[in-house]
Amino acid sequence: MAPGGSTRRLPADLDGIADAARLLRAGDLVAFPTETVYGLGADATDPAAVARIFAAKARPRFNPLIAHLADVASAQAEGAFDAQAQRLAAAFWPGPLTLVVPATTRTSVCDLARAGLDSVALRVPGSALARDLLAAVGRPVAGPSANRSGRVSPTSAAHVLADLSGRIAAVLDGGEASVGVESTVVACLGGPPRLLRPGGITREALRAVLGLELAGPEGADSNRPVGPGLLASHYAPRARVRLDASIIAPGEAVLLFGAARPAGLDRARAVIDLSPRGDPVEAAARLFSGLRDLDASGAAVIAVVPIPSTGLGEAIRDRLERAAAPR
């Protein structure tokens, strides 16, 4: 689309899918829903289309993108799957898992989408709407989260438009994302698989399938990225984020989880409870919209009560630590 043009909101029906697929095949940018977060889609085989993603997000070019595929067979055609990768694909696809595997001569995902690496990141999303779109496109679709680089990831079409309206051709509106945090990224590059990013598939679930504990990820306090895109500061709201808060200062916004009630809560400017019953699955689904809503309260600080790092809590803590990292 021409800069300054308007972004279309496409319905989640056959016409909407057909329009979105046509735009993607023509090299335009279309944000699309997945079960984790909304992706900013472009034809992954077309370097010019992929370049538009980096421009729209204002994203550093060294950051490689995930290619999304409609089904397991299409994904396997894009890279070399060892036994562990096969096992993970069989167990968790379609779903919130991304596999980084060696690229091959058959890989159609372009160099720019892979940031020049000899590996490729692949995902078959759990969202049926996403897979219908991918099947209609018939090519891998590159898709980082559909937010400006370094900002909070979008879990609704409204979030996408708040960040990218006028910068992308369309958004396919599939309602709220059900998982709410990005996919788990696992590298299978020979040797034992490594966890590059915690996400929608828990460490415990990976261990159960592989029969071994995964190494990684390296700490979010490091500015030396493991996955090239894993910068310490990321997912940042405008407000400063303060973790493991037990006392609230007047005027702070507060993110609650479970039964914890920090002192001074009555002086908070705004309060959002991620999960009153302390369920990390429910909390993950609300995390990014909660951060956006607290940011909108105008508070200078978002204080977060302690959140245990078991199950999806690991991904939640990872995102919050990045949001709290120095910028």
Q: Phi first, then psi: what are they for 299, rounded to 5°?
A: -65, 150
Per-residue x/- marks for ligand TXA, 230-259, CB under 6 A? x-----------------------------
DSSP letter assigned to residue 232:
S
Which residues, other chains included, contact 222 with Cβ-Cβ below 8 Å and sequence gap of 6+?
Answer: 232
Q: Which stretch binds Mg ion (CB under 5 A): 145-153, 239-247, 254-262, 269-277?
A: 145-153
Residue closer to ligand TXA (CB basis): 235 or 303: 235
108 near ligand TXA, judged by CB under 6 A? no
Are 28 and 43 a contacting pair, CB within 8 Å?
no
Q: Which is nearer to ligand TXA, 66 or 169 (CB)?
A: 66
Q: Measured between alpha carbons, how far is residue 215 from residues 117, 132, 194, 276, 300 in Å?
A: 21, 34, 5, 32, 36
- Kindly tell me which residue out of 7, 36, 74, 156 binds ligand TXA, with binding defined by CB under 6 A: 36
- Residue with nearest beta carbon to ligand TXA: 229
For residues 170 and 40, the answer to whether their CB atoms sit within 8 Å is: no
Pull the structure tokens for residue 259. Answer: 């039964």
| Partner whose footprint covers residue 309, from Mg ion, ligand TXA, none (CB < 5 to 8 Å by kind) | none
* Options 125-133, 143-151, 210-218, 264-272: segment touching Mg ion (CB under 5 A): 143-151
Q: How far is the CB of 237 from ligand TXA (least distance, A)?
A: 16
When asked if residue 202 is in the footprint of ligand TXA (CB under 6 A), the reply is no
Among residues 7, 74, 76, 119, which is the contact residue for ligand TXA, using CB under 6 A? Answer: 119
Q: Which does 16 bind (CB under 5 to 8 A by kind): Mg ion, ligand TXA, none?
A: none
Q: Which amino acid is at 25?
A: R
Written as six digits, the tokens of 80 are 């070399």
Smaller CB distance to ligand TXA: residue 201 or 256?
A: 201
Q: Is 145 in the site for ligand TXA (CB under 6 A)?
A: yes
Angle (deg, nearest 10), helices 280-296 and 157-164: 40
Asked if residue 217 binds ligand TXA (CB under 6 A), the reply is no
Could you say whether residue 150 binds ligand TXA (CB under 6 A)? no
- Give the total of residues touching ligand TXA (CB under 6 A): 28
195-206 burial code (b ≥16 CB/10 A, e <16): bbbbbbbbbebb
- Binning the chain into helix, strand and coil, the percentages to the nearest 5 are 30, 15, 55
Q: Answer yes or no whether residue 314 interacts with ligand TXA by CB under 6 A.
A: no
Point out which residues pair with 271 in neighbouring strands. 254
Backbone angles phi, psi at 47, to 5 degrees: -60, -35
Which spans of this chain sit near Mg ion (rule: CB under 5 A)?
145
